């Protein structure tokens, strides 16, 4: 009994999740309504309207998840009075909207032209499947269920209308409406028991479904999306990606990554990390060399001599113009800072130069 109480869902937590993640179906996942959660995720809370309407339905969802005795008694009474679930305008509208949305997403994901010399327009035959899946998923939320076969056959039976009615909105609506009507009339029935599924399996199933849905979005953006260049011209994304991966910049980056991997295979990833740290110039030495105009192998005496020369040449007192004096002062401070950095790191620089001079030439490999 104690274990059962530990698994009870809280109305407060459900409302908090509804408020902060409701459009993504987080509260439905918490209440083990996974189909509802996925529908909300793909439609952003039922296009916002469904999410707002749930403010009064969440207590009922919680009672159903907890199998509250009074709720279950009322549900049993309804099952006895009605051989199958009665018609619900909210659910039927949801079937139409989700079926239409998923079907449209499938249609937009199909490449308009050939891809790698292959004509993929035959994938349009999957549009009725996507629409029927939307109808079936909404129809299987909560205590109602039904087989996919009926809405699927209805969708494919109505699909040929597109070859006679060229208005996309008309034939698409007819197809989804036929699928929803057939499901509501012949397929739906009561779900008398709620099957408890392990959390890991629930996450895995939702993850696969999410990947499939996101792949449709990626296909749509790849084949139909455009980007605007600096001159205001629109370029298809697939062309832009092709040009990017054949550009000199990407080829240089790719070669650099290949060289880094080969170097790591030979010397180890720790040595690569050390070189990355050195190249990132954490102490500011590389920039200091650039400011003073000396090389990394310069001695401290050469650095001091160069610093004195540059300090005299760039002293602010030599400039009478106010604007020029301000620029000279910034340059002068930059020189002083560079000299201070190199002076503080002279011992480390000497050790590094001695190490480099002791290594055979063939052993030095730079990224």
Task: Give the residue-averaged pLDDT of 230-244.
Answer: 80
CATH code, domain carrying 358:
1.10.287.110
Residue 46 lies in a domain: yes
Q: How many domains does the chain have?
A: 2
Give the model's pLDDT for residue 213: 96
Residue 267 lies in a domain: no
Give the model's pLDDT for residue 116: 67
Task: Give the residue-averaged pLDDT of 324-333.
Answer: 86
| Res 23 pLDDT > 90 | yes
Last residue of a domain, one of 81, 107, 123: 81
pLDDT digits (tens, 9 = 90+) for 155-193: 999 999 999 998 999 999 999 999 999 999 999 999 988
Give the model's pLDDT for residue 366: 43
* Model confidence band, residue 2 (pLDDT cutoffs 50, 70, 90): very low
Instruction: Kindly report the pTM of this predicted structure.
Output: 0.70
Residue 304 lies in a domain: yes
Least confident of 72-86, 140-154, 167-181, 308-322: 308-322
Residue 315 lies in a domain: yes
Q: Which residue has the higher pLDDT, 347 or 217?
A: 217
Give the model's pLDDT for residue 233: 79
pLDDT digits (tens, 9 = 90+) for 297-316: 888 888 899 899 888 888 88
Give the model's pLDDT for residue 295: 84
pLDDT digits (tens, 9 = 90+) for 92-125: 999 999 999 999 999 999 887 766 667 778 888 9
Give the model's pLDDT for residue 12: 96
Last residue of a domain, one of 20, 55, 81: 81
Give the model's pLDDT for residue 205: 95
Domain extent, residue 28, equals 1-81
> What share of the chain in percent tops pLDDT 70?
91
| Res 350 pLDDT > 50 | yes
Residue 355 Cα to chain centre, angstroms:
47
3-state secondary structure the chain: CHHHHHCCCCHHHHHHHHHHHHHHCHHHHHCCCHHHHHHHHHHHHHHCHHHHHHHHCHHHHHHHHCCCHHHHHHHHHHHHHCCCCCCCHHHHHHHHHHHHHHHHHHHHHCCCCCECCECCHHHHHHHHHHHHHHHHHHHCCCCEECCCHHHHHHHHHHHHHHHCCCCHHHHHHHHHHHHHHHHHHHHCEECCCCCCCCHHHHHHHHHHHHHHHHHHHHHHHHHHCEEECCCCCEEEHHHHHHHHHCCHHHHHHHHHHHHHHHHHHHHCHHHHHHHHHHHCCCCCHHHHHHHHCCCCCCCHHHHHHHHHHHHHHCCHHHCCCHHHHHHHHHHHHHHHHHHHHHHHCHHHHHHHHHHHHHCCHHHCCCC
What is the residue-averaged pLDDT of the chain? Answer: 87
Task: Give the residue-averaged pLDDT of 328-335.
Answer: 88
How far apart, in whole angstroms, are the C-alpha atoms of residue 4 and residue 252? 61
Last residue of a domain, one of 55, 81, 107: 81
Task: Give the residue-averaged pLDDT of 214-223.
Answer: 91
Residue 205 lies in a domain: no
Task: Give the residue-averaged pLDDT of 283-298.
Answer: 84
pLDDT digits (tens, 9 = 90+) for 334-345: 989 988 888 887
| Res 358 pLDDT > 60 | no
| Res 248 pLDDT > 50 | yes
pLDDT digits (tens, 9 = 90+) for 25-66: 999 999 999 999 999 999 999 999 999 999 999 999 999 999
Residue 160 lies in a domain: no
Q: Which residue has the higher pLDDT, 348 or 74?
A: 74
Give the model's pLDDT for residue 363: 41
Residue 327 lies in a domain: yes
Residue 24 lies in a domain: yes
């Amino acid at each position: 009994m104690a274990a059962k109480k530990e698994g009870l869902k809280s109305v407060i937590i459900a409302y908090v999740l509804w408020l902060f993640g409701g459009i993504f179906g987080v509260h439905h996942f918490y209440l083990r309504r996974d189909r509802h959660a996925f529908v909300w995720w793909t439609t952003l809370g039922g296009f916002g309207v469904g999410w707002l309407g749930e403010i009064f339905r969440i207590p009922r969802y919680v009672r159903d998840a907890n199998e509250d005795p009074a709720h279950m008694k009322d549900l049993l009474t309804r099952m006895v009075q009605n051989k199958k679930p009665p018609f619900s305008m909210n659910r039927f509208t949801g079937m139409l909207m989700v079926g239409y949305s998923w079907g449209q997403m499938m249609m937009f994901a199909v490449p308009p032209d050939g891809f790698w010399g292959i004509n993929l327009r035959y994938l349009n035959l999957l549009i009725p499947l996507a629409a029927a899946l939307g109808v079936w998923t909404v129809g299987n939320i909560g205590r109602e269920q039904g087989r996919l076969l009926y809405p699927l056959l209805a969708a494919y039976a109505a699909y040929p209308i597109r070859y006679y009615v060229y208005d996309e909105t008309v034939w698409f609506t007819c197809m989804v409406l036929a699928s929803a009507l057939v499901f509501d009339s012949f397929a739906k029935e009561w779900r008398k028991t709620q099957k408890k599924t392990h959390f890991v399996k629930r996450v895995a199933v939702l993850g696969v479904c999410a990947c499939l849905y996101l792949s449709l979005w990626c296909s749509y953006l790849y084949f139909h999306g455009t980007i605007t260049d600096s001159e205001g011209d629109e370029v298809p994304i697939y062309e832009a990606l092709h040009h990017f991966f054949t550009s000199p910049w990407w080829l240089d980056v790719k070669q650099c990554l290949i060289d880094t991997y080969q170097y790591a295979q030979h010397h180890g990833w720790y040595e690569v990390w050390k070189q990355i740290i050195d190249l990132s110039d954490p102490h500011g030495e590389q920039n200091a060399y650039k400011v003073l105009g000396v090389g990394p192998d310069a001695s401290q005496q050469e650095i001091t001599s160069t610093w004195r020369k540059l300090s005299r040449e760039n002293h602010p007192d030599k400039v009478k113009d106010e604007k020029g004096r301000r620029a000279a002062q910034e340059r002068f401070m930059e020189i002083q800072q560079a000299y201070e950095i190199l002076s503080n790191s002279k011992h480390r620089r000497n050790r590094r130069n001695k190490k480099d001079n002791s290594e055979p030439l063939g052993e030095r490999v730079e990224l």
